Amino acid sequence: MAADAGAPVGIRLEGVSAQFRHRVKGLVYAARDVTLAIAPGELLTLLGPSGCGKTTTLRMIAGFQEPSAGRILIGERDVTRVMASDRDIGFVFQSYALFPHLSIFENVAYGLRVRKEAAAGIARRVGAVLDLVGLAGYERQLPSQLSGGEQQRVALARAIVIRPRVLLFDEPLSNLDAKLRVQMRSEIRELQKRLGITAVYVTHDQEEAMAISDRIAVMSRGEIVQLGDAETLYRRPASTFVAEFIGRSNLLAATVESVAPGAVGVSVAGARLLLEAPGDGLGQGMAVRLVVRPEAVTLAAERPGALAATVRGRTYLGEKVEYELETAGGRLQAVIFDPPEGGTFPPGCRVAVQLPTRGLQILPETAS
């Protein structure tokens, strides 16, 4: 099928906003001035906490909702005022939205029937796509007779059988159990790449986002706060919000002591560190936050001059140990992989915390 799907197209959002009338607050933004360019064939994920405007943005791309400002382009075509039925999209809903009164075959065939395709062609294409999602033989079943995972595949099959130029997913896996979720997300990813369809994927699960996406747009309060691939977001969060939302992180309060090209000196709870960092926009005496991933922390026996901490909790998990530590600068999480036998620190024990000097993200206190 990929052969005749046509060349993939890009999607552009230019200053797109959506406003709703709130009973108490008046007009509120569900999406605000969203500008975004999605490359042809790319899978971009909108990630963010509940209520941040992911669904609203996606629905505006689909045409279920009209933006209050801005333009939306699919390919070179301005679709801002085009009805969903004319946008050539496939949409996979969180609730699957299978037509309960139609058989699986008819559900999948629906888009083709609406397009008045010939019966033979429909049968062939529905058969092929059901094969593709591993549901051959389920044609005569009704949606209610299928498991959640199977229904999800039908929803997917129904969306792709019409060879849309754009595939849109709104939390398609949130109703599945953890294991199936992992399996399905790689299937979706594989299929999307194979068909070469540009896709926008909405989720609030950062792991799912990282696993499936080419790029991720992190949203907060209706705005895109950072856009990048998974590693950039993890390694270089642009704000404490992103740092906390993507993976686990410790945000240690620190003060800048010295700024030199490629080296920044900070003090953290009385201990001094010299970090390899660009130091742009930092100045002496500035309050900052250090983004420290738990797995970047190492522990050693207590010694003077080092950042001292007390072990408050210890969870032994076989391949790793998780520590809950208390420092003068606040609580700190640490994860030690492959701990040596008998080499863990019991609760109450005083330890020295060692932070890496490379790759730590320094965020000004204001960048929240």
Ligand X SMILES: Nc1ncnc2c1ncn2[C@@H]1O[C@H](COP(=O)(O)OP(=O)(O)OP(=O)(O)O)[C@@H](O)[C@H]1O
Q: Beta strand pairing status for 320-327 and 69-74?
A: unpaired
**Closer residue to other proteins, CB minimum distance, 62 or 271:** 62
First to last CA, the chain: 46
Min dist. Cβ of residue 197 to other proteins (A): 14
The 159-178 contact track toward other proteins, x by CB under 8 A, reads x--x-----x----------
Of 1, 2, 83, 300, the one binding other proteins (CB under 8 A) is 83
Q: Does 234 bind other proteins (CB under 8 A)?
A: no
Using CB distances below 5 to 8 A depending on partner kind, what does residue 204 bind out of Mg ion, other proteins, ligand X, none? ligand X
The SS3 of residue 246 is coil
Tally the residues of the chain.
Answer: 368
Stretch 334-353 residues interacting with ligand X (CB under 6 A): none
List own/partner pairs for 227-236 with CB under 8 A and 24 or more apart. 227/36, 234/210, 234/293, 235/359, 235/361, 236/361
How far is the C-alpha of 269 from the C-alpha of 252, rounded, in Å? 9
Q: Does 17 bind ligand X (CB under 6 A)?
A: no
How far is the C-alpha of 328 from the C-alpha of 271, rounded, in Å? 10
Of 39, 73, 84, 182, the one binding other proteins (CB under 8 A) is 84
Of 11, 52, 74, 89, the one binding other proteins (CB under 8 A) is 89
Q: Does 144 bind ligand X (CB under 6 A)?
A: no
The residue with tokens 């005083």 is 350
Q: Does 55 bind Mg ion (CB under 5 A)?
A: yes
Whether 158 and 114 have beta carbons less than 8 Å apart is answered as no
Q: Does 359 bind ligand X (CB under 6 A)?
A: no
Of 13, 42, 46, 91, the one binding other proteins (CB under 8 A) is 91
**Closer residue to ligand X, CB minimum distance, 227 or 269:** 227
Stretch 34-53 residues interacting with ligand X (CB under 6 A): 48, 50-53
* Amino acid of residue 308: A
Min dist. Cβ of residue 50 to Mg ion (A): 7
Min dist. Cβ of residue 32 to other proteins (A): 11
Bridge partners of 169, per DSSP, are 92, 201
Whether 111 and 156 have beta carbons less than 8 Å apart is answered as no
Per-residue CA distances from 165 to 217, 273, 326 (Å): 21, 52, 53
Using CB distances below 5 to 8 A depending on partner kind, what does residue 114 bind out of other proteins, ligand X, Mg ion, none? other proteins
Stretch 54-93 residues interacting with ligand X (CB under 6 A): 54-56
Cβ-proximal residues to 31 (8 Å cutoff; 6+ apart), any chain: 16, 17, 18, 53, 56, 57, 60, 67, 222, 223
Inter-helix orientation angle 119-132/148-160, to 10°: 130
**Closer residue to Mg ion, CB minimum distance, 48 or 90:** 48
Applying CB under 5 A, the span of 23-31, 53-61, 178-186, 331-339 interacting with Mg ion comes to 53-61
Applying CB under 8 A, the span of 35-43, 82-90, 233-241, 244-252 interacting with other proteins comes to 82-90
Region of residue 279 (phi > 0: left; psi between -120 and 50: alpha; otherwise: beta): left
Among positive and negative, which fits the CA dihedral 187, 189, 193, 196? positive
Q: Does 27 bind other proteins (CB under 8 A)?
A: yes
Bridge partners of 37, per DSSP, are 12
Q: Does 20 bind ligand X (CB under 6 A)?
A: yes
Q: How many CA atoms lie within 13 A of 330 on its CB side?
A: 10
Using CB distances below 5 to 8 A depending on partner kind, what does residue 101 bind out of ligand X, other proteins, Mg ion, none? other proteins
Residues found near Mg ion in the complex (CB under 5 A)? 55
Residues found near ligand X in the complex (CB under 6 A)? 20, 30, 48, 50-56, 204
Residues found near other proteins in the complex (CB under 8 A)? 17-21, 27, 30, 62-69, 81-91, 93-95, 97-101, 110-111, 114-115, 158-159, 162, 168
